[in-house]
Structure 1
């Protein structure tokens, strides 16, 4: 039936979600508020979204036959990450509506194509070169200088996708990665801020922009996100100008997340783009009149969008399964925190580092919010 179409879905119709992870669960909850029925497909019958969906099909999200069977039972299909095969998206588009389309999935699977797309949009990105063999890496490093970063063009499983090159002796470290296919060699530009901005678009009205959030380096390896943040007016205007260009060029129907960084000269670089909600948008649950998943579902269903930011700033930190018991231990003591747990099935998560929930800490002074997080001992190891 097609992708990016402007069909209107109404309460009582069925949205199908490919995947049953934490994002699928949050999409389910947003869709339920709109009166939609929800079906999911996932190979794990006790997935994180299963206790909020109306029904599910047990099957791998890579099983084309199961996916088509699933698509025939719903009025529209959303995906909760970008791991789905492009050939499967094409097959699904024959039988149902795919508002998120396939372009962002295609770009997520190939950094070379993503970089070429961003260049064609005339947005600023870090200087880079494509490397097909090791000699290309040496040539690229000579051209770009140190430090630089080497990234696999396509996602690799169970091995590094990134190597930092600070000197000639580091180049050989990328040989294993290069053996799996082309890479990009990119200048490693010193940055003062890593930020994200999300845009929602229903394909009819003007795009709606979420406030900007910033990556938070809290303590050692503990990271989170702070939002909303405010920057110089001219910086914010440029960030939103870039976001609008990318949204309209991609004909987004849903949400677009754009990760950028800013150097000490105030120059903005686009790092990567995604068509699904991310952890950088958790703050929207409390800081905005629409959350990122509310906006995704409303936009995908062709509903109008209206968004206002609230005054409060929030520090959000994900809690993985390994740290989940410590989170539960803090429940009686953190009266000002907002806590979201990804359902009754978190105990079924196999990967101890997979997300089990997140906390949102109200910010008056950021240093105090950091101290509260560290002092809770939830992430003490």
Structure 2
């Protein structure tokens, strides 16, 4: 068991908040690096460093902590020397998996995981010629050495705005199709050494009042559960990394599945694992960091997580439920209600 007394967290989001809560149970102190004072994890951490998230500030955080978890989906580029000298999760090319869309698409293609159609180019003139031949809408990435800009292009005006903002210091460009999806499914996965463990597939749905419902497990066939878990495991097994990841997939009308993105374990529905699985994702992530075993996440009872605005009372589920109140920076606070749900009959096809 590794001796972890102080844990550094980069980004004050929901994942950081839940890790702070779990760390307190283990008498591990937490130091948060987040520029915003009013953030979700601010009250749960032991120390809050209000500074921009850069390689220099993360280096200073490393001096105060035994290990670091990158909770933000847009971390800065960290030098390979720094990554090797410090304990950071996700480690190694896991940082590329969460912070570089080109790397995600390339890794998925090598592992035969379906993705939206895309075109990647490091020659600007060739890129512009190709862009003229692609139908709207599409997503444009302008990639620099240490960051990238993203623009969704739905109209010719959007495209003209992008062309006006072209920066000569950009080194790569990526065009990716924007597709309509009927369903949104996600898989949470942990990797420790060569072992990859996943939790059951979750599904997100919105009603007409923009209330989000997250179901775990998702109401899909066993074949779909197996397929998405296999996709996540294939990508992680081919990556030199350890840590917690979320794989989000879109399902088209023809039931074709495409990888939408990979994040560092940022999923609202994962809170349900605190109550309706044998081990929560946060327990398992700290087990990984402390050198303890990890295992497949097993659902004890199916659950529904409801995400609603603070003043919305008519969508609160019937008791009993678990309630979480979250302040979101300067945005309207939200409440999460997590309750047991009924398993539907298994679908025959997907």
TM-score normalised by the shorter chain: which range applies?
A: 0.7 to 0.9
Structure 1 residues 77-116: Cα deviation after superposition (integer angstroms, max 9, x where no partner): 11221333113x6564365311312534334444333222
- CA separation in 2, counterparts of 1:283 and 1:174? 41
Spell out the pairing of 1:83-232 with structure 2 (5 A cutoff): 83-87=74-78, 90=80, 92-93=82-83, 95-130=85-120, 132=124, 134-141=128-135, 148-154=137-143, 161-164=151-154, 170-178=155-163, 179-180=165-166, 184-203=174-193, 206-232=195-221
Corresponding residue SS for 2:107 = helix
The aligned residue for residue 375 of structure 1 is none
Judged with a 3 Å threshold, the aligned counterparts in structure 2 of structure 1 residues 331 and 294 are, in CA distance, closer, same or farther, namely farther
Say whether 1:41 aligns with 2:33.
yes
- CA separation in 1, counterparts of 2:97 and 2:343? 38
Alignment check: 8 A CA contact 1:195 1:214 kept: yes
Say whether 1:363 aligns with 2:341.
yes
Give the root-mean-square deviation of aligned CA atoms.
3.2
The aligned residue for residue 49 of structure 2 is 57
Alignment check: 8 A CA contact 1:258 1:273 kept: yes
Alignment check: 8 A CA contact 2:189 2:246 kept: yes
Shift of 1:288: 1.5
Corresponding residue SS for 2:305 = strand
Corresponding residue SS for 2:278 = coil
- CA separation in 2, counterparts of 1:183 and 1:69? 32
1:31 to 9, 23, 29: 23
Alignment check: 8 A CA contact 1:282 1:316 kept: no
Judged with a 3 Å threshold, the aligned counterparts in structure 2 of structure 1 residues 163 and 224 are, in CA distance, closer, same or farther, namely farther
The alignment of Structure 1 onto Structure 2 pairs a total of residues equal to 331
Judged with a 3 Å threshold, the aligned counterparts in structure 2 of structure 1 residues 176 and 33 are, in CA distance, closer, same or farther, namely same
The aligned residue for residue 257 of structure 1 is 246
- CA separation in 1, counterparts of 2:54 and 2:120? 29
Judged with a 3 Å threshold, the aligned counterparts in structure 2 of structure 1 residues 62 and 330 are, in CA distance, closer, same or farther, namely farther
- CA separation in 2, counterparts of 1:49 and 1:359? 19
- CA separation in 2, counterparts of 1:45 and 1:150? 32
The aligned residue for residue 348 of structure 2 is none
The aligned residue for residue 2 of structure 2 is 9
- CA separation in 1, counterparts of 2:197 and 2:242? 11
Corresponding residue SS for 2:61 = helix
Alignment check: 8 A CA contact 1:21 1:48 kept: yes
Alignment check: 8 A CA contact 1:254 1:295 kept: no
Corresponding residue SS for 1:201 = strand
Alignment check: 8 A CA contact 1:337 1:360 kept: yes
Alignment check: 8 A CA contact 1:67 1:92 kept: no
The aligned residue for residue 315 of structure 1 is 305
The aligned residue for residue 282 of structure 2 is 293
**TM-score, length-normalised on structure 2?**
0.80
Shift of 1:199: 1.0
- CA separation in 2, counterparts of 1:91 and 1:112? 22
Judged with a 3 Å threshold, the aligned counterparts in structure 2 of structure 1 residues 63 and 239 are, in CA distance, closer, same or farther, namely closer
Judged with a 3 Å threshold, the aligned counterparts in structure 2 of structure 1 residues 156 and 221 are, in CA distance, closer, same or farther, namely farther
Q: Runs of 5+ in structure 1 lacking a partner?
A: 1-7, 142-146, 165-169, 367-381
Which structure is higher in helix share?
A: 1
Alignment check: 8 A CA contact 1:82 1:105 kept: no
Alignment check: 8 A CA contact 2:83 2:92 kept: no
The aligned residue for residue 351 of structure 1 is 330
